Amino acid sequence: RKEVEQDPGPFNVPEGATVAFNCTYSNSASQSFFWYRQDCRKEPKLLMSVYSSGNEDGRFTAQLNRASQYISLLIRDSKLSDSATYLCVVNPRTDSSASKIIFGSGTRLSIRP
């Protein structure tokens, strides 16, 4: 089983729709979680961190479910500019001197007019 798994998509939704996708992780000791966004042929950029209590930033909501070992990203009122690949990132932090942040392969989202 991969350490971090995502549905590759693509998710193709109309503008204005709400879309959500999950990311599962295998290491129950994982400490920190993030969503990054990567536009085509560009570098990944941090979208938001995911806190235990969940967090919201405008149209974006991230949730963590430790019991089931997944994180989710919800995008409301989607815009054309939301089209991108969304990368789930998990930091297992099993050893503070050798932490390695693990990136999922990404979920491709395409918003159509």
Closest to 21 measured CA to CA, from 84, 100, 102 = 84
The answer to whether 71 and 23 are in contact (CB under 8 A) is yes
Q: Is 53 in the site for other proteins (CB under 8 A)?
A: no
Integer Rg of the chain from CA: 14
How near is the Cβ of 103 to other proteins at its closest, in Å?
A: 4
The answer to whether 89 and 3 are in contact (CB under 8 A) is no
Q: Which of residues 85-104 bind other proteins (CB under 8 A)?
A: 87, 89, 91, 96-104
Applying CB under 8 A, among 49, 52, 65, 94 the residue interacting with other proteins is 49
Q: Is 112 in the site for other proteins (CB under 8 A)?
A: no
- Binding residues for other proteins (CB under 8 A): 32, 34, 42-46, 49, 87, 89, 91, 96-106
